Amino acid sequence: MRFPRGAALIAVAAICPSMVNGQDVAPIFESAPWIQYETYRAVDAPVFREYFEMLVDKFSGTEAFGWGVYQESPTVAYRITALPNTWQSLQDVNEQRVAGFEDFTEVEVDLFNRAWGSRHAALYAVNPDQSVVPEGFTVDDIRALPYNRVMVYRLKWGQAPAFAEALAARSALDREAGMDNFVFTVWWGGLGTETRTVMVRISAENRAADIAGFQSRQEARQAYMDEWRRLSGIMNAAAWEIEHHNQIRVADLSFAPEN
């Protein structure tokens, strides 16, 4: 059976600086200043579903760390786990999961081994100053927005400061314009990501709502569109690669602990 190397993750994770530095931090960022972001590839969709249904059932009624499962395609999926206390939370998550694995039956071990071809875990820290979310936005609110348009920027050497400054300025323009229905979260990669990696997540009810929201925001940006586009150009030029993903939360494979 393949176990996660939780101890190694803890040992190296302390080198990653925290990006939670906003003065007015939304509740979602207080609850999830860091996340563990797991990517599953070569997914066997029926087996993957059976495995996570089993996990949800195992943890049901407990106060274990919750997670969200997001599907990109039949063969690619993600699990996102909030880490409210950063390193201690990371250690606790890994200890809980390793302890759970030790109780697996042979059938459950077989599910684990067949559900996907590869798994990659990474840590991301939120940057509230570069994000745009409604006031009082919470983890429960984000669960109610299952569609996520995701961009992953892999920055050129030495370009992180220019990218960060441009993104912060662009988000400030949107906040000043009063875009209180915009859910735009920014996460800087730590352990498990290439230096420097930034993940941007735009959440909505569905793809149609995201498209409509983008069009309405572009209309609202007309007063500062030239500057918005200039800042976007700086961000794009700072990256050697920009990945685009569409992810949809799978509610029945996700787990929320009881309050």
Convert 19-48 into a string of H (helix), E (strand) and C (coil): CCCCCCCCHHHHHCCEEEEEEEECCCHHHH
Q: Is the pLDDT of residue 231 over 80?
A: yes
Confidence of residue 222 (pLDDT cuts 50, 70, 90): very high
Which residues lie across from 147 on neighbouring strands? 204, 248
Q: Are strands 76-83 and 34-41 parallel, antiparallel or unpaired?
A: antiparallel
Residue 180's pLDDT is 78
* Over residues 154-161, mean pLDDT: 97
Short-list 41, 3, 34, 2, CA closest to 120: 41
The listed CATH number (3.40.1170.60, 3.90.1150.10, 1.10.10.10, 3.30.70.100) that belongs to domain 27-252 = 3.30.70.100
Residue 1's pLDDT is 34
Give per-residue pLDDT as tens, 71-123.
999 999 999 999 988 788 889 988 988 888 888 999 999 999 999 999 999 99
pTM as predicted: 0.88
The DSSP code for 64 is P
Q: Is the pLDDT of residue 54 over 90?
A: yes
For the chain, the domains span: 27-252
Cα(243)–Cα(227) distance, integer angstroms: 24
Short-list 146, 191, 157, 173, CA closest to 231: 173
